[in-house]
Structure 1
Amino acid sequence: MHTWTNRVPEPRRMSGSYLALGLLYVAAMIGLAGTAAASDVNEWVAEVARFSFGVFGLIAAVRAARLPHLAPRLRQAWGAVAGCFAILVISVPVLLTVDPDGSTTANDVIHMMFVVALLIALQRFPLAPMNRRDGWKTALDAMTVLVGGSMVLWYTAVDPLLQSHRLTMDVAVSAVINPIGDLALLFSVSRALLRGANESARRPLRLLTAATLVLFLGDAVNGYLDAHQLYLHSSWQFYWWITTDALLAAAAVEQSRSRIANGFVFRPVRIGRFLPFLAVVVAHALMLDAAVKSGTFSPWGGLALGGATLSALVLFRQTLVQRESDEQALTDGLTGLANRSRFRATSYKGLAQGKRTGLHSAILVIDMNSFKEINDTLGHKSGDLVLIAFAEVLRRCVPSPGLPARLGGDEFAVVLSDLTSPQQAYDVAGRIAAALGPVAVEGRLITLAASVGVAVSAPGELTHDELVHRADLAMYKAKGLGPATRWAVWQESLEIAA
């Protein structure tokens, strides 16, 4: 008999690396603010801070790139991120030694090298496989984000620069070339968020997204200041760059803490689905702002407002259609329960979460008894009504956040997560067995009966396939006890018998 030991969930504590990173960031911000009046000192403080984040991030990224349980492409991605930090570590002392005055050109060259290395890293992230249609949808959504970002760039930097007729090399790099590189980053990170990432990379990818957005917005603001000949932005630019460095380092720390094995399902990062909508909102906001600043709201202001309203209505309708489509793709058409795809994804998620929180997960595999005889004697229509009635029993007996699912035919399953002990899974199996009995189907009383197999995984003990295999063995054990409803728990002896 398999022996269970209850484990007390360990609280998720803040990592010492995160604490050190936060303190370093606060110290850098205070140092920049305190030396803003002295440009030379301010430059030194900024470069020392960037060097510190470079060393910090380099160590974390190298550690992430060496994790054996990560997919090879993911390790390569973090190797490229380590290259970003290596650029910082090498360039900062070189700049302070060879170019102590901190020329704009030298900083811009280093910045472009940094962006290129980060772009390579984003291209190496392993993304979910997609069919041709879904690939086009993802590309179009990412292009929507790119166009929105381009409008921000045009409005804040490029157009003011063209209007000023001041196209020097330094200004062109700051106002145009840097943000164009950032647009490439924006497209790459949007594509990654929309396609979906491996479970172990989802949190780091969120932080990489935040770093990319900060970098893009910072370069756009600096381009605006350059285009308007506002030369008080030297320390302001360092605020953006240091924040980007800190977020990248945090992403590397998060990945280096990952203990989720490779092979979990790919899922879109939730924030990704909102990026195209945000891009449309930003675009219309810029048009409205330009109409107001022109001094005459008519006619362009009214047209911009109408266009914004129409876009909002279309986007809202698209959201409803997409939600309905997602639900249909993950729902069994007959019973309304989750289908096999959602069952599998929910199981993966529960097992990964249980590994982090120290809680158990369980799967119940359920096979209806004598269902073939019902179909043969009463017809498929009555058989469908029996399946619907059986699904209703599962809905009543499975507590939230448990998920009942129909795997196909007369085979059902239940995913249970966040269990403090295996007994909770056994209680659910007992409730299902007790609830099954006679139901009225087209004027006839039909007795619902099923065989239920239960398998429970301690935190981090089993994979989804192993858990389903054990629940299957237990279900066949219950079926061997006769046609009446029975439920059985996996035991090691079942493996020997199989």
Structure 2
Amino acid sequence: MVSAPRRRARVRRLPSIATYAVLVLVVLVDVVASLTGHRGPALLGAMFLPVMLISVGWTVRAARHPSLDPRSRRPWRFLALAFVIHSVYGTLIGMSIQNARLTESDFDGPVVAAVVLRLVEVPVLLAGLLAFSGEPPTVWVRRKLALDVTTVVGLATMGVWYWFVGPGLFAEESLSGMSRLGIVLLPVCDTVLLLGIVTVLMRGVVTTARRPVTLLLAGLTANLAVDSLLTFEAVFRGTGRTALFTDLMTLTPLVLTTAAALEQCRLASGERRADPVPERLRPYTALPYVALALGYTLLFVVAVRAGSFPWPGLVLGAMVMTGAVAARQLVSLQENHQLAVTDLLTGLANRRLLRDHMLRAADRGRRTGRPHALLLLDLDGFKQINDTHGHDAGDAVLVAFARLLRRHTRAADTPARLGGDEFAMLLNGITDHRDAVDVAERLLTELRQGPLVPADGRVPALTTGCSIGIVLSDPQAPEDPHQLLRRADQAMYEAKRAKTQGWLVFREIPAPRSSTRDELTGSGPQDA
């Protein structure tokens, strides 16, 4: 017998399953019709119309979903309006393509209407993209973001002028005035939309539903690719694209945006578990430098094709100078990042980087089902070393202990210094608590085998022990990093209070009435 909650969950999933089934069916019908030669205007309309309606329906659902807060619904309201406009726009473009055998004057009307709708759609889409919540930026962050976005959009402007606007303005006379206007305006609209996409990618998004935003950006980027392809063929009268290729390219952005709205609704309904901790959709900070390199590459290719002797050398020199400046900036950014996320004395990760790696470990654990362990280590007798031998000796102990942690961690693990004589180790992809205990045992054994810092004439050989608190994550119910750190700290404190220079494991044991009680279990290395 299937339980009632599971039966209700299956019923809630039926609309999602039906949506994906329709999308797959449309693609299969298009493939079969193209391969068998039965593709025609009536079939095209029958295929694209339901996909457009489904996309609009799910977007409207996301914009009105009662489980979403007003701030989360706001971008989907803009997007719902934009997709309604896009459906009409796509229909008019389809009419133009289907009637391509007629004279230009016969389908100038749909072209003009499509251009007008695109001019209206793009600002609405831009407002929807910018409405996704990001961390409030400072004045300097806003300025840097504006400059980075300008760099990427500058590359797009170069490409738009070279491939679309220039040829469209100076195209052969047989191209009608209305079609010429559409060829010029549509790439400009796409450049404005690209500004919104790049802004979201560069700024990042703090959200508990990263997958819908990622799918949405992929769909809008695919839409830009489709627009560029169709405009390029309109300018150069390309005939090398098959009908099947064009159909699949046109379907791709509709499918991706539909999936984005559907995933947002499923997350809001609880069918998919959202991320437990709001996490940034990580910004793509390398985009401006990629754009700079591509822009100069395009400029160099055009200069070589021009054939005039001074231009290739001048452009190459400008590329070298700008590349050196960009590389210098990248090195500075990397250095600043390292200073911000590492401990200056030991070179280990600091608390900020450890938290970031713990969030990634929780996300990885949900996918693989394997837990990660956090070890919190506190040196015993460190204050006496500082008081007796001075802070230089204390720093030497900290550096030597950091080297010890590195020797006992894998490439996938993260050793960190949290401050003072407190350290941490994040162990990824372990089987159970015994793996973490083995690491703790090896550390304690090596600490007792000899001095941590050998004598150097100024101070005697220095030895120290440490107390270790261990906590395991639950892959099915990942916790906030602060919660894991608190529990590891509690276990470490109990180990230190026992004065065994050993380890303790923090566990949660199910208790009656669905509550939990905490248990600390462990021992010193000789008492396990």
Same fold (TM over 0.5): yes
Change in CA separation of 1:91 and 1:165 when aligned onto 2, cut-off 3 Å: closer
Structure 1 unpaired stretches of 5+: 1-14
Q: Secondary structure at the match of 2:286?
A: helix
Instruction: Deviation per CA, 1:317-337: give whole Å up to 9, x if none.
Output: 433333232222211100010
- Counterpart of 1:180 (choices 188, 204, 207) is 188
Q: Which residue of 2 aligns with 1:424?
A: 435
Q: Which residue of 2 aligns with 1:485?
A: 501
> In the alignment, residue 268 of structure 1 is paired with which amino acid?
R
Moved more, 397-406 or 23-32: 23-32
Task: Verify: 1:414 aligned to 2:412, yes or no.
Answer: no
Moved more, 85-94 or 430-439: 85-94
Task: Verify: 1:340 aligned to 2:357, yes or no.
Answer: no
- Counterpart of 1:472 (choices 489, 495, 515) is 489
| Maintained 8 Å contact 1:352/1:460 | no
Change in CA separation of 1:72 and 1:451 when aligned onto 2, cut-off 3 Å: farther
Moved more, 235-244 or 205-214: 235-244
Separation in structure 2 between the aligned mates of residue 281 and residue 411 of structure 1, nearest angstrom:
44
Q: Which residue of 1 aligns with 2:223?
A: 215
| Maintained 8 Å contact 1:361/1:456 | yes
> In the alignment, residue 105 of structure 1 is paired with which amino acid?
V
Separation in structure 2 between the aligned mates of residue 32 and residue 274 of structure 1, nearest angstrom:
42
| Maintained 8 Å contact 2:507/2:519 | no
- Residue 471 of structure 1: how far off its partner (Å): 0.9
Separation in structure 2 between the aligned mates of residue 106 and residue 207 of structure 1, nearest angstrom:
29
Change in CA separation of 1:286 and 1:59 when aligned onto 2, cut-off 3 Å: same
> In the alignment, residue 112 of structure 2 is paired with which amino acid?
T
Q: Which residue of 2 aligns with 1:158?
A: 165
Separation in structure 1 between the aligned mates of residue 224 and residue 94 of structure 2, nearest angstrom:
25
Separation in structure 1 between the aligned mates of residue 26 and residue 333 of structure 2, nearest angstrom:
40
Q: Which has the larger radius of gyration?
A: 2
Q: Secondary structure at the match of 1:359?
A: coil
Moved more, 330-339 or 454-463: 454-463
Separation in structure 1 between the aligned mates of residue 19 and residue 67 of structure 2, nearest angstrom:
22
Separation in structure 2 between the aligned mates of residue 414 and residue 68 of structure 1, nearest angstrom:
42
- Residue 355 of structure 1: how far off its partner (Å): 1.9
Separation in structure 1 between the aligned mates of residue 394 and residue 63 of structure 2, nearest angstrom:
54
- Counterpart of 1:147 (choices 143, 146, 154) is 154
- Counterpart of 1:453 (choices 454, 469, 479) is 469
Instruction: Deviation per CA, 1:433-481: give whole Å up to 9, x if none.
Output: 2222322254412222112111112113222222112111111110110
| Maintained 8 Å contact 2:276/2:480 | no
Q: Which residue of 2 aligns with 1:283?
A: 295
Q: Which residue of 2 aligns with 1:435?
A: 446
Q: Which residue of 2 aligns with 1:123?
A: 130
- Residue 146 of structure 1: how far off its partner (Å): 0.7
Q: Please provide the CA RMSD for this pair.
A: 3.8
Separation in structure 1 between the aligned mates of residue 296 and residue 214 of structure 2, nearest angstrom:
26
Residues 10-49 of structure 1: pairs in structure 2 closer than 5 A: 20=21, 23-24=24-25, 26-27=27-28, 30=31, 33=34, 41-42=40-41, 44-49=42-47
> In the alignment, residue 447 of structure 1 is paired with which amino acid?
T
> Normalising by the residue count of structure 2, what TM-score does the alignment of the two structures yield?
0.77
Moved more, 468-477 or 230-239: 230-239
Separation in structure 2 between the aligned mates of residue 444 and residue 129 of structure 1, nearest angstrom:
52
Of all paired residues, the percent bearing the same amino acid is 32
| Maintained 8 Å contact 1:60/1:253 | yes
Separation in structure 2 between the aligned mates of residue 455 and residue 215 of structure 1, nearest angstrom:
47
Task: Verify: 1:389 aligned to 2:400, yes or no.
Answer: yes
| Maintained 8 Å contact 2:209/2:274 | no
Q: Which residue of 1 aligns with 2:11?
A: none
- Residue 168 of structure 1: how far off its partner (Å): 6.1
Change in CA separation of 1:139 and 1:47 when aligned onto 2, cut-off 3 Å: farther
Structure 2 unpaired stretches of 5+: 1-15, 100-106, 510-516, 521-528
- Counterpart of 1:349 (choices 343, 349, 360) is 360
Separation in structure 2 between the aligned mates of residue 431 and residue 66 of structure 1, nearest angstrom:
56
